[in-house]
Amino acid sequence: MKIPFPRADQVACAMPSPSNFQHAGFQGMMGISRREITPPAGIYARNWGAAEHDTAETIHRPLWVSVLTLADSADSLPLILIDADLGWWRTPQVFEAFRQSIRNAIDIPVERLIVALSHTHAGPPLMEIDPELPGSDRLRSWMDALPGLVSAAVREAWTNAHPSLLEWHSGSCGLASLRDFADPFSDSRLPRYLCGFNPEQRADQTLWVGRITGIDGQMRGTLVNYACHPTTLAWQNKAISPDYVGAMRETIQQATGAPAFFLLGACGELAPRYQYTADLEVADAHGRELGYAALSVLSGMELAGTCLRFTGTMESGAPLAVWTREPVLHSKSLSAASPRVVLPLKDWPSAEDLERQRVACMDRALAERLRRKRDIRRGLGDGHEFSLPLTVWKIGSAILVGSCCEAYSILQQELRRRFPGMPLICMNLINGSLGYLPPADHYDLDIYPVWQTPFDRGSLERLLEAMTRAIRELLEK
């Protein structure tokens, strides 16, 4: 059944109350476009320290960039969300060069642009080109072409925007599990923690799904916000792949006939239960699991542009509550902010010292760790603090918030507790990539996210407070 947009004089459920139920949403001009960005086989694609190969040999599934523009009217400046099947930016400078290329082509303020990564670990690294690495010539050509492809997709989405509804509903998916696992063979007094399935604790498996429908009631797109590392495919894998996100998109798109976006949640400690394989079917199975869960959420939503309103009782064998579907008018409010929060940095060696250690290192996996640590240090500089940008959008009656770090899921859980009753879309790895943000008490543990991150104890908690302030300020406008 198609439900056309209601007129203002038709609205029955303009405000939520104890006697009605409606999805949080936004009504405005929305544009959607996609471009394939699959790189060629033979490109440099080493993302795992344990990998014995440097270049990709095959293509599992294509990589895509998807663009969504949101505006309150045809003449207003939009918010632009870019969702890319890419891994992570090796330095802030590489991301800034990419973003500036987009902004040179599309005149848009920084706070209105989000470049979100799916975080696949089976794609080419986004890095400064090192001619000494195999496949670097193909990496250079591919990276040089990316800004043009993305800019063209943004222009297409912006130009072809149509009146649409974006409505949200929540559910859950069992794909994510906790991946901080105490090594059972290490010293129990100070155990070594491994990145792998921990069966003793439950992960945050919250799933938020956004449904975009046109004025004619037809599906135009789906947004899936879920926190789970795309690390199914690991060091043995030699294929370019979007990991589980590819099959997730395909599953949803086959059922809805519309593009599916993936918005990576706060997944610092979350990953699939079974991972670290070269079996491409495992990645596809994971994607179908998330895709089916998202479709279940979609199936449980009210018809587009409607709410349920309590209209009275019917006396039968029991007194029956009668609820009817009636039109609802969603908010057209959009706003964006990009505040900063100062985070403390660890006392790491300088980038030059780390490079000397890398050159002298004979262990291939350790040398890769040092390369990445060097790149992070180069990007942050040799100071003791870093001014971290974050992005907050108010989209109708929903909030989208995120940063370039890999925050633990406690961030999204606590934000949702502080702002109950609204969709709160929390994202990792937007507008850059830097390091993990584990909780303060984890800094007493021998655990990868703590020794990988350049940020010192208390950084996650500072980000939480900064995001809370930014959200409150937008809500008060």
φ, ψ at 295 (rounded to 5°): -65, -35
Task: Examine the domain organization and report whether 230 and 134 are in the same domain.
Answer: yes
Share of the chain above pLDDT 90, in %: 83
Task: Examine the domain organization and report whether 179 and 313 are in the same domain.
Answer: no
Residue 7 lies in a domain: yes
Q: How far apart are the first and last CA of the chain?
A: 37
Please provide the average confidence, as pLDDT, over all residues in the chain: 93
Residue 342 lies in a domain: yes
Is the pLDDT confidence value at 49 over 90?
A: no
Rounded-to-integer distance, Cα 193 and Cα 184, Å: 9
What is the H or E stretch that residue 99 is in? helix 92-105
Share of the chain above pLDDT 70, in %: 96
| pLDDT at position 7 | 53
Residue 362 lies in a domain: no
CB atoms within 10 A of CB 81: 25
State both tokens at 153. 């997709």
Residue 373 lies in a domain: no
Mean pLDDT of all residues in 376-397:
88
Task: Examine the domain organization and report whether 446 and 308 are in the same domain.
Answer: no
Q: Look at residue 149 and give its three-state secondary structure.
A: helix
Mean pLDDT of all residues in 318-343:
95
pLDDT digits (tens, 9 = 90+) for 235-270: 999 999 999 999 999 999 999 999 999 999 999 999
Task: Examine the domain organization and report whether 322 and 244 are in the same domain.
Answer: no
Question: Looking at the 3D structure of the chain, how many domains does it have?
Answer: 2
Query: What is the per-residue DSSP string for 245-296?
Result: HHHHHHHHHHHHSS-EEEEE---TTEEESS-SB--HHHHHHHHHHHHHHHHH
Mean pLDDT of all residues in 116-129:
96
Instruction: Indicate the pLDDT class of residue 454, thresholds 50, 70 and 90.
Output: very high
Mean pLDDT of all residues in 333-352:
90
Task: Examine the domain organization and report whether 71 and 142 are in the same domain.
Answer: yes
Residue 363 lies in a domain: no
Nearest to 115 by CA among 161, 62, 65, 167: 65
Facing residues of 272 across strands? 176
Task: Examine the domain organization and report whether 252 and 310 are in the same domain.
Answer: no
Are the beta carbons of 326 and 306 closer than 8 angstroms?
yes
Task: Examine the domain organization and report whether 163 and 284 are in the same domain.
Answer: yes
| Angle of the 351-360 helix axis to the 364-380 helix axis, nearest 10 | 170
Mean pLDDT of all residues in 414-431:
97
pLDDT digits (tens, 9 = 90+) for 159-179: 999 999 999 999 999 999 999
Instruction: Indicate the pLDDT class of residue 1, thresholds 50, 70 and 90.
Output: very low
Is the pLDDT confidence value at 5 over 60?
A: no
pLDDT digits (tens, 9 = 90+) for 191-230: 999 999 999 999 999 999 999 999 888 999 999 999 999 9
Task: Examine the domain organization and report whether 459 and 469 are in the same domain.
Answer: yes
Task: Examine the domain organization and report whether 106 and 183 are in the same domain.
Answer: yes
Are the beta carbons of 45 and 36 closer than 8 angstroms?
no
Q: pTM, whole model, 2 decimals? A: 0.93
Is the pLDDT confidence value at 8 over 80?
A: no
Contacts of 381 (CB under 8 A, 6+ apart): none
For strand 219-226 and strand 260-264, is the pairing parallel, antiparallel, or unpaired? parallel
State both tokens at 454. 């350049």
Domain span at 309: 1-22+302-331
| pLDDT at position 399 | 98
Task: Examine the domain organization and report whether 284 and 311 are in the same domain.
Answer: no
| pLDDT at position 380 | 78
Residue 368 lies in a domain: no
| pLDDT at position 382 | 77
State both tokens at 41. 């086989």
